[in-house]
Structure 1
Amino acid sequence: MLTAEQKRFYGDNGYLMVENAVTPEQLGELRRIAYEFIDRSRAVSESDDVFDLDSGHSAETPRLTRIKLPHKQHPFFWKVLQDSPMPRVLNDLLGPDTLLQTSKLNTKAPGGGAAVEWHQDWAFYPHTNDDMLAFGLMLEDVDEENGPLMVVPGTHKGPLLSHHHDGRFCGAIDPDDPLFEKDRIVTLTGKAGSMTVHHARTLHGSAPNMSDRNRLILFYECHAADAWPLLGSNSYIHSIGQQRFWADLQERVITGEVCLTPRLEPVPVRMPLPPAKDASSIFTMQKSGGAKSAFA
């Protein structure tokens, strides 16, 4: 699937753009389902297990930040992850045995859809090794105006920046951190059906959507099967018990099989503790944790 040059680019920079990551038919169905969920949110007045509501949400004007765990809300989100070019990209970058960490459909509404402050995914869920990445499948065209993903190339090879504020994990870096090299930011735009790939340690964020168009990006966060979560990471697995975790592990296999021999690598780790007052989503975590905005 990926060329040798694409693999080298990802290895050097910690991100990649892949065009035509799904078929036109798959893209159409994903978009249809996404807007069906947005329409369903008209009946919701508070965030719940499916919807994260943005400020100004109403039945007349639905505004969401996120549809949670879409692969569990509708089977097509899981089907397309396995039956598209995406698994081949995973295998090229992570090897034959891969698992899904989590999924989310970030839905920035027009006219100010919420920003995601700068962060490294790795800060939220450190593992025994960092063969972890995120796909960002664009369900609508993404340009400079509607809140595109932005990355700082090469940061996947650097340090883990502090994601704490006043001694508490807030899920974002301080934009005044001297290690945050703003002059090196790259903006990732593309046509619907294109997909970004970024390493779990790559520093990234996205500004508010100030356009008059939706910005829908479906994120799949994935990892090599021999990357095992560390106790204390910001993950639901600590609440489900060993038996349920084992069953959950089988459900998250994308390609290959589960690996019972974790690979240990000398990766930088700082546990995401103590947690923010409200850790129900990255948006509430960054807000309740007192993260300073880079987009104010």
Structure 2
Amino acid sequence: MLNADDIAFYRENGYLMVEDAVSAEQLARLREITYALIEKSRAVSKSDDVFDLDEGHSAERPRLTRIKLPHKQDPYYWDVLKNSRMTEVLTALLGPDAMIQTSKLNTKAPVGGAAVEWHQDWAFYPHSNDDMLAFGLMLEDVDEANGPLQVIPGTHKGPVLSHHSAESGLFCGAVDPEDPLFERDKAVTLTGKAGSMTVHHVRTLHGSAPNLSNRNRLILFYECRAADAWPLVGSASYGKIASGGGQVLWDHFADSVITGSMTTEPRAEAVPMRLPLPPAPDAGSIFKTQKSGGARSAFTAREKVGA
């Protein structure tokens, strides 16, 4: 699926675009399941364990920011990750033993669907090494109008920028637009046809503007790690699981294996990191973390109204 030039490009730039990451049949089934879930959200009036609701959501006009943990909502999302061209990309970049960190389906509703402020995934969940990445599978065509993913090449080799609010000191899940190390003018916009997939390294700076089109922007994200990358204390991603004890944590990891097997020998590397503490008042999703933590927006008023 990937050739040597593709892999070298990813290693150097911290991102990659892959076309036809799933078959036409797999794409059609994923869309069918996804739209059925959006229909199901009509019965929901507040965010829950499955749906993050956007402003203006109603039974008549469902508006979501996210479907949480889609691989837990329908087994087909999990099956496709384990049995598609995505699987080949995963092993090419992370090796034979890989696990899922989390998944999410960012639905970004038409005409104003929420932005995702600029951040590095690594800031949310530092591990013993940074052999971690995110896939963004486009379930519909993505163009510049509907809030595509943007990345800043090479930032996976640099520092971990502060994701804490300058006012409150809380982890807010976004970099400050005034940070001198935030070079937004170097951003690359990643658009593509349905079935295409973005790949970005866990330390690559990225974000996305509001959806200004009249179409949903449906991107299925899988965040994955090498099996020997183990989480550090302080990551909210594992807080509730770890509180259940060692067996609960082990069982969780066993259920997270995509390819190969687990290990009890973590690999530690000298990589920069910051802990996502103290937490934002509401850390239920990145949208809630950025809002309740007091993140400052890097997106201008002009972008937000679609001028």
TM-score when normalising by structure 2: 0.95
Give how far 1:269 is off: 1.1
Aligned to 1:219, which of 195, 218, 221? Answer: 221
Where does residue 138 of structure 1 map in the other structure?
138
Gap regions ≥5 residues in structure 1: none
Where does residue 304 of structure 2 map in the other structure?
none
Where does residue 262 of structure 1 map in the other structure?
266
- Alignment partner of 1:171: what SS? coil
Letter of the aligned partner of 2:217 in structure 1?
R
Give how far 1:163 is off: 0.1
Q: How far, CA to CA, are the matches of 2:236 and 2:124 in structure 1?
A: 5
Task: Spell out the pairing of 1:145-156 with structure 2 (5 A cutoff).
Answer: 145-156=145-156
Where does residue 98 of structure 1 map in the other structure?
98
Give how far 1:213 is off: 0.8
Cα distance per residue 1:66-122 (max 9 Å; x no partner): 000000000000000011011111111111100000000000110000000000000
Indicate the larger mover: 231-240 or 193-202.
231-240
Task: Spell out the pairing of 1:1-296 with structure 2 (5 A cutoff).
Answer: 1-165=1-165, 166-236=168-238, 237-296=241-300
Percent of matched pairs sharing the same residue: 73
Q: How far, CA to CA, are the matches of 2:286 and 2:164 in structure 1?
A: 13
Do 2:27 and 2:139's aligned partners in 1 also have CA atoms closer than 8 Å?
yes
Letter of the aligned partner of 2:254 in structure 1?
Q
Give how far 1:248 is off: 1.0
Do 2:14 and 2:204's aligned partners in 1 also have CA atoms closer than 8 Å?
yes
Do 2:146 and 2:215's aligned partners in 1 also have CA atoms closer than 8 Å?
yes
TM-score when normalising by structure 1: 0.99
Letter of the aligned partner of 1:261 in structure 2?
E
- Alignment partner of 1:232: what SS? coil
- Alignment partner of 1:283: what SS? helix
- Alignment partner of 2:162: what SS? coil
**Alpha carbon RMSD of aligned pairs, Å?**
0.7
Do 2:69 and 2:104's aligned partners in 1 also have CA atoms closer than 8 Å?
yes
Give how far 1:240 is off: 3.3
> Structure 1 residues 239, 51: CA separation in 2 closer, same or farther (over 3 Å shift)?
farther
Q: How far, CA to CA, are the matches of 1:294 and 1:67 in structure 2?
A: 24
- Alignment partner of 1:17: what SS? strand
Give how far 1:287 is off: 0.3
Give how far 1:239 is off: 3.4
Cα distance per residue 1:184-212 (max 9 Å; x no partner): 00000000000000000000000000001
Give how far 1:294 is off: 1.0
Q: How far, CA to CA, are the matches of 1:125 and 1:94 in structure 2?
A: 17
Q: How far, CA to CA, are the matches of 1:176 and 1:112 in structure 2?
A: 24
- Alignment partner of 2:218: what SS? strand
Gap regions ≥5 residues in structure 2: 301-307
Letter of the aligned partner of 2:30 in structure 1?
L
Q: How far, CA to CA, are the matches of 2:245 and 2:29 in structure 1?
A: 35
Give how far 1:259 is off: 1.2
Give how far 1:241 is off: 2.3
Q: How far, CA to CA, are the matches of 2:178 and 2:70 in structure 1?
A: 34
Q: How far, CA to CA, are the matches of 2:170 and 2:243 in structure 1?
A: 21
Q: How far, CA to CA, are the matches of 1:240 and 1:206 in structure 2?
A: 35
Do 2:30 and 2:139's aligned partners in 1 also have CA atoms closer than 8 Å?
yes
Give how far 1:222 is off: 0.2
Q: How far, CA to CA, are the matches of 1:113 and 1:259 in structure 2?
A: 40
Q: How far, CA to CA, are the matches of 2:36 and 2:215 in structure 1?
A: 17
Aligned positions, number: 296
Q: How far, CA to CA, are the matches of 2:116 and 2:243 in structure 1?
A: 26
Q: How far, CA to CA, are the matches of 1:167 and 1:178 in structure 2?
A: 18
Do 2:16 and 2:200's aligned partners in 1 also have CA atoms closer than 8 Å?
yes
- Alignment partner of 1:187: what SS? strand
